[in-house]
């Protein structure tokens, strides 16, 4: 089976006045049809830029400087704007982080859904509207035939995110990029949305990239996990392996930072220091300054090493012990 | 809505009362109209008779009380100079001023909106810099000087357009207007342009600022991610979002354009309210000045009301009276 999405050596840099920001600096990953990939990292690790790069939605001064993104075998890097527009929303859809900001506040839900249908298909407005109502029902909006005439501000945050998800599902895309879709929501709503999306992608066989800083969320939804740090993927593998037996010290640090994993009464674990600025990255392993296992050999960028089947880590001394 | 209108009506009356008081006291302080109205060789007896017949021998408070009493029954006094009801004099000249003001705002919007949109969408280009430089000239060069230059170039230099008067008017839907005849339109072009230049600069800068604020918002990116065309995003989503603030400002400007058409009307000898008011101030024709200021105040209040109603129509998030 050929891969649905193949990203090779992708570099997306931003040419700012202060210098070149290497937000994404050479990442590789592969996604098969129907698979869910969790893209994990701290703020500024490049995970959002990576997902926007797939859609070609990098605004100047940023641009993709190198690498290849193949979707169903078609090269997307350097592909004309008109072709990208055809793919966006139809074959690759996106759900954004903040549902308060993604829908245009002055237009009715109806208008925004119908225009999304009509952007890719020639059908009557009536047919487009009927389909929109159907999809709203599927994502759990009660009485969608009434609610479709409302404005975004008349919905709660969770309901708005459901509407955004419905818009993403309108064309039954092969791939959905979900950029922290539950971060801005209440915990109870988070759980609902995650369960809902899990069900929807399973039903339709849609592949998904779930961008998040929350390993606990990713653990429940993703088949495989890619951990990003300073613009690179530092560990990649099946979620059970990456989360159960992390090989990179950074992944271990992330897992230890989840409060529920700590024994009650014990101090919370944290990774010392801050995520480095990708503006002026020191040579060598970018995580070395914060790494408890740092050694002289870390002064050079470590190559990707295979840890197990389909499990890769960029560390010269990958961890081998089980997490307790 | 009803509560909103009633509250507005009461506010209107309060404002009109306050303005009338300020105007009356102010005019009283400026000078005695009898000094100007009477010929130099008038005897003291004639002088006293004239003062009594105009009611100027009463104390200020009595004069004001009388003025208020008459005003409440719709009588704003008779002009000292023309011996006609002052309101009639003003309303007779109102169409000419309104026509000029509306033409000027029309020019400002029709040119300003696209130019501002272009400048906002293409920051840093040569065209954008040209537009912005032009707009700085538009509002920093004195209006009267711009008027004189227009006359110098287009009337005297090129001889294309007439420089003074209203030209021939015709009847359009029962209203006497310059739009009805070609001669009238030719006479209208220069004064309307003169009055428009400042507002044009304002509309350009406002539109550009709004566009630049709106384009980086998530819903624009989400529009792209849905596969909408750039045309649809800018033409519908962005345009509708920025329409509300722009309409507000332009609405406010309509009032000021009417009120401050004085300069333009003087330069181009336009027979509107502005010219009447300048003449009346020079002759200390108190009733006309007072009536004019009250009419303008009322216009401002009316326009504000219309703008508020328009705003709610354009932005569904706004509710009148602050209650939902």
Q: What pLDDT does residue B175 have?
A: 66
Predicted local confidence at residue A26, as pLDDT = 85
Q: How far is A184 from chain B (nearest CA, A)?
A: 14
Structural domains of chain A sorted by starting position, each given as residue range(s) with its CATH number in brackets = 5-36+45-82+226-313 (3.40.50.300)
Q: Which of B124, B223, B226, B324 to mutate to test the interface with A (most CBs of A within 10 A)?
A: B226
Interface test with A, best of B212, B222, B240 (most A CBs within 10 A): B222
pLDDT of residue A16: 85
Detail the DSSP E strand segments found in chain B: 170-172, 175-177
* Average pLDDT over chain A, rounded to an integer: 84
Q: What is the mean predicted confidence (pLDDT) over B226-253?
A: 87
Least confident segment among A130-139, A314-323, B2-11? A314-323
Q: pLDDT-derived band of residue B116, with 50, 70 and 90 as boundaries?
A: very high
Query: How many angstroms separate the Cα of B56 from the Cα of each of A95, B28, B40, B60, B138?
Result: 76, 10, 19, 8, 45
Q: What are the tens digits of pLDDT across the range B235-248? A: 889 988 898 888 88
Contact B202, B139 (CB under 8 A): yes
Report the mean per-residue pLDDT for chain B. Answer: 82
Q: A54 to chain B: which residues are within 8 Å by CB?
A: none
The count of CB pairs under 8 A between chains A and B is 78
Give the Cα separation of A29 and A178 in Å (integer): 16
Mean pLDDT, rounded, for A33-47: 86
For residues B43 and B63, give the distance between their C-alpha atoms in angstroms, rounded to a whole number: 25
Q: How confident is the model at residue A129 (pLDDT cuts 50, 70, 90)?
A: very high
Q: What is the pLDDT of residue B286?
A: 79
Cross-chain residue pair B226–A164, CB shorter than 8 Å? no
Question: In angstroms, rounded to a whole number, what is the distance separating the alpha carbons of residues B126 and A207?
Answer: 45
Average pLDDT over residues B175-194: 77
As given in the structure block, the two tokens for residue A234 are 């530092």
Q: What is the mean pLDDT of residues A266-288?
A: 76
- Contact status of A90 with chain B (Cβ, < 8 Å): yes
Alpha helices in B31-142 (DSSP H): 33-37, 44-53, 60-72, 86-121, 126-140
d(CA A324, CA A255) in angstroms, rounded, equals 11
Mean predicted confidence (pLDDT) in B15-21: 86
Do A41 and A215 contact (CB within 8 A), yes or no? Answer: no
* pLDDT for the residue B171: 67
How far is CA B149 from its chain centroid? 22
Distance in Å, alpha carbon of B312 to nearest chain A alpha carbon: 11
Residues of chain B positioned with their CB less than 8 A from the CB of A88? 224-227
Stated length of chain A: 324
Mean pLDDT of B144-171: 77
- Gap from B233 CA to chain A (nearest CA, Å): 10
Distances, alpha carbon B60 to alpha carbons A107, A237, B57, B206, in Å: 57, 91, 9, 45
* Cβ-based interface (< 8 Å): residues of B facing A: 216-219, 221-229, 232, 236-237, 240-241, 244, 314-317
Q: What is the mean pLDDT of residues B268-275?
A: 82
The answer to whether domain B95-322 has CATH 1.10.3720.10 is yes
- Percent of chain A at pLDDT exceeding 70: 97
- As a whole number, mean pLDDT of residues A239-258 equals 83
Taking contacts as CB-CB distances below 8 angstroms, the residues of chain A near B223 are: 104
Kindly state the percentage of chain A with pLDDT values over 90: 8
Confidence of residue B209 (pLDDT cuts 50, 70, 90): very high
Rounded CA-CA distance B55/A38 in Å is: 88
Which residue from B218, B241, B316 is facing A98, i.e. has the nearest CB? Answer: B218
Binary contact (A105, B217; C-beta < 8 A): no
Check residue A269 and give its pLDDT.
Answer: 74
Token pair, residue B321, equals 């009276």
Peptide bond into A164 cis (omega under 30): no
pLDDT of B288 strictly over 90? no
Smallest Cβ–Cβ distance between B219 and the set A57, A87, A104 belongs to A104
The answer on pLDDT for B258 being more than 60 is: yes
**Which residues lie below 8 Å from residue A59, measured CB to CB, with a gap of 6+?**
B216
Question: Residue B31 has which token pair?
Answer: 């000078």
Enumerate the domain spans of chain B. Answer: 24-75, 95-322
pLDDT of residue B29: 72
A175-205: per-residue pLDDT in tens? 999 988 887 777 787 888 888 888 888 888 8
Report the pLDDT value the prediction gives residue B324, as an integer from 0 to 100. Answer: 38
Band of pLDDT at residue A321, cut at 50, 70 and 90: low
Mean pLDDT of B126-138: 88
For the segment A23-46, the average pLDDT, to the nearest whole number, is: 86
What pLDDT is recorded for position B115? 93
Find the CB nearest A115 among B217, B219, B232.
B232
The pLDDT of residue B206 is: 92
Over residues B162-173, the mean pLDDT reads: 70
Check CB contact of A114 with chain B, cutoff 8 Å. Answer: no
How near does any CA of chain B get to the CA of A128, in Å?
15
Asked if A107 lies within 8 A of B240 by C-beta distance, the reply is yes
A271: left (phi over 0), alpha (psi -120 to 50) or beta: beta
């Amino acid at each position: 089976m050929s891969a649905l999405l193949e990203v090779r050596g992708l570099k997306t840099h931003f040419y700012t006045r202060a210098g070149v920001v290497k937000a994404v600096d050479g990442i590789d990953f592969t996604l098969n049809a129907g698979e869910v990939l969790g893209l994990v990292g701290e703020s500024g690790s490049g995970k959002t830029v990576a997902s926007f790069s797939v859609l070609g939605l990098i605004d100047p001064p940023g641009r993709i400087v190198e690498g290849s993104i193949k979707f169903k075998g078609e090269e997307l890097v350097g592909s004309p704007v008109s072709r990208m527009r055809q793919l966006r929303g139809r074959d690759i859809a996106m759900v954004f982080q903040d549902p308060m900001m993604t829908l245009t506040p002055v237009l009715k839900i109806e208008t925004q859904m119908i225009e999304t249908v009509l952007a890719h298909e020639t059908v009557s407005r009536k047919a487009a509207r009927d389909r929109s109502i159907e999809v709203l029902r599927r994502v759990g909006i009660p009485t969608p035939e009434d609610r479709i005439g409302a404005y975004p501000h008349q919905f709660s945050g969770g309901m708005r995110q459901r509407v955004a998800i419905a818009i993403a599902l309108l064309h039954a895309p092969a791939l959905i990029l979900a950029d922290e879709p539950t971060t801005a929501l209440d915990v109870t709503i988070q759980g609902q949305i995650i369960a809902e999306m899990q069900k929807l992608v399973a039903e339709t066989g849609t592949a998904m990239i779930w961008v998040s800083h929350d390993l606990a969320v990713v653990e429940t939804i993703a088949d495989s996990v890619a951990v990003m740090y300073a613009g690179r993927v530092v560990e990649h593998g099946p979620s059970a392996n990456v989360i159960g037996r992390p090989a990179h010290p950074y992944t271990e640090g992330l897992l230890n930072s989840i409060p529920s994993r700590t024994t009650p009464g014990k101090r919370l674990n944290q990774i010392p220091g801050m995520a480095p600025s990708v503006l002026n990255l020191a040579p060598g392993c970018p995580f070395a300054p914060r790494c408890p296992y740092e050694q002289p050999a870390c002064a050079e960028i470590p190559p990707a090493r295979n840890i197990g089947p389909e499990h890769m880590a960029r560390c010269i001394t990958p961890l081998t012990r089980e997490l307790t | 809505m009803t509560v909103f209108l009633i509250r507005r009506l009461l506010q209107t009356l309060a404002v009109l009362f306050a303005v009338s008081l300020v105007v009356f006291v102010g005019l009283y302080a400026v000078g005695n109209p009898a000094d100007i109205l009477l010929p130099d060789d008038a005897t003291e007896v004639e002088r006293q008779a004239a003062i009594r017949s105009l009611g100027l021998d009463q104390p200020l408070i009595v004069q004001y009380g009388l003025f208020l009493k008459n005003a409440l029954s719709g009588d704003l006094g008779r002009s000292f100079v023309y011996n006609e009801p002052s309101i009639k004099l003003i309303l007779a000249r109102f169409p000419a001023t309104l026509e000029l003001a509306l033409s000027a705002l029309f020019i400002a919007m029709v040119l300003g909106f696209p130019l501002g949109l272009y400048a906002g969408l293409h920051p840093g280009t040569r065209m954008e810099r040209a537009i912005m430089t032009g707009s700085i000239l538009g509002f920093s060069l004195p209006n009267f000087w711009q008027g004189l230059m227009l006359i110098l170039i287009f009337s005297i230099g090129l001889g294309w357009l007439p420089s003074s008067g209203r030209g021939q008017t015709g009847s359009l839907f029962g209203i006497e207007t310059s739009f009805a005849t070609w001669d009238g339109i030719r006479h209208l072009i220069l004064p309307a342009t003169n009055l428009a230049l400042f507002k044009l600069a304002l509309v350009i800068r406002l539109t550009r600022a709004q566009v630049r604020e709106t384009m980086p918002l998530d819903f624009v990116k989400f529009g792209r991610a849905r596969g909408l065309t750039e045309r649809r995003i800018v033409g519908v989503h962005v345009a509708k979002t920025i329409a509300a603030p722009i309409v507000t400002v332009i609405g406010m400007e309509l009032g000021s354009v009417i009120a401050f058409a004085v300069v333009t009307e003087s330069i181009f000898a336009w027979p509107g309210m502005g010219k009447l008011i300048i003449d009346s101030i020079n002759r200390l024709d108190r009733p006309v000045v007072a009536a004019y200021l009250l009419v303008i105040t009322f216009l401002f209040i009316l326009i504000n009301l219309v703008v508020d109603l328009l705003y709610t129509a354009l932005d569904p998030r706004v509710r009148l009276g602050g209650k939902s």
